[in-house]
Amino acid sequence: MLISMTGFGQGEATSATSSVTVEVRSVNHRFLDLAFKLPRVIQNREADIKDIVRAKLARGRVSITINIESPSSGRAITINEQVLETYLAQLRAFAKKHSLDERLSMDTLMQLPEVVTAKELEPGEEEVWPLVEKSLNAALVSCSKMRVEEGRALEKDLVQRMQIIDRTVSAIEKLSPEVAKQQVDALRKRVAQLAGDVQVSEDRIAAEIVMLADKTDFTEEITRLRSHEAQFNRAIKDGGEVSKKLTYILQEMHREASTIGAKASGSEVIQHVVVLKEETEKLREQVQNLE
């Protein structure tokens, strides 16, 4: 089974006092790269969150957003008595100095800056962590399921493209004898043009033909391409973390295609070499999304 690195998952968990929502997004990356958006109350739990994610996902750039809501927590109201007494002392001194009425209402005092502070009450770490853990695991399961589904779609595309490559290699193999004949005919024609009326030894021409045949023969490249095809298909069938292995195989296939293109220059084979290179490049792009 192949697994894509592209996925999304969401998990939720609630209690009598809190509600936790976790979103997990992943895209392709060479390694497992984690990024978090965490509420202040669980920032000390980052290491625990990393351990949970690593147990579920092997590769990818993974972004995790955790949101905690506690609608019943309310607010804590605090009166800063020290600030209030300072205000009172200064106001009374001012009133006495200017012969003013010293009477002050509580409503007036409470509206003075920094006398009253209101702070949102948050649930404690121990209270919300079980909810975070539960919703995080649910989000990771959902994300992993999507990555598996994406992997199946990718596998189907990889198999189809490898079939195109297989047919292309067969076409090149079929044209191989004709390429050799064309090269020999071209050699004889060039020799005749250059020699003019001068008689050229057939033995010498035969030797050149042997050397040319060796340079233009791509039987070995076709054999290696067939071997790489088999390795590629076997790796897909085995599944697991195959991205790096498949990338290497495709790199070698592209190299063999380039060699054939150099040997078969000027022949019909070049059209098939172009297809071969295009398909291996498309495959290389696709396998980058796999674990």
Domain match, 14 and 114 both: no
Q: Does 80 share its domain with 42?
A: no
pTM: 0.68
259 within some domain: yes
Q: How many domains, in total, are found in the chain? A: 3
Angle at 140 between CA 47 and CA 54, to 5 degrees: 40
Given a contact cutoff of 8 angstroms between Cβ atoms, the answer to whether 60 and 97 are in contact is: no
1 in any annotated domain:
no
Q: Does some domain include residue 2?
A: no
DSSP string for 163-190: HHHHHHHHHHHHHHHHHHHHHHHHHHHH
Same domain, 83 and 59: no
> Residue 165 domain-assigned?
yes
Angle between the 125-195 and 202-216 helix axes, to the nearest 10 degrees? 170
* Residue 127: count of CB within 10 angstroms of its CB: 15
Same domain, 36 and 115: no
Q: What is the pLDDT of residues 168-206, one digit of tens each?
A: 999 988 887 766 656 655 655 665 554 555 555 555 555
**Which tens digit of pLDDT belongs to each residue from 8-23?**
999 999 988 889 999 9
25 and 54 fall within a common domain: yes
CB 23 within 8 A of CB 139: yes
214 with 282, same domain? Answer: yes
| Burial call 250-286: b when 16+ CB within 10 Å, e when fewer | bebbbebbeebbebbeebebeebbebbbebbeebbeb
- Report if residue 219 sits inside a domain: yes
- Residues 21-57: tens digit of each pLDDT: 999 999 999 899 999 999 988 999 999 999 999 999 9
For residue 194, the enclosing domain spans 149-287
CA gap 177, 17 in Å, rounded: 79
One-letter amino acid for residue 45 of the chain? R
pLDDT more than 70, % of the chain: 81
Q: Partners of 8 in the beta sheet?
A: 25
Q: Is residue 129 part of a domain?
A: yes
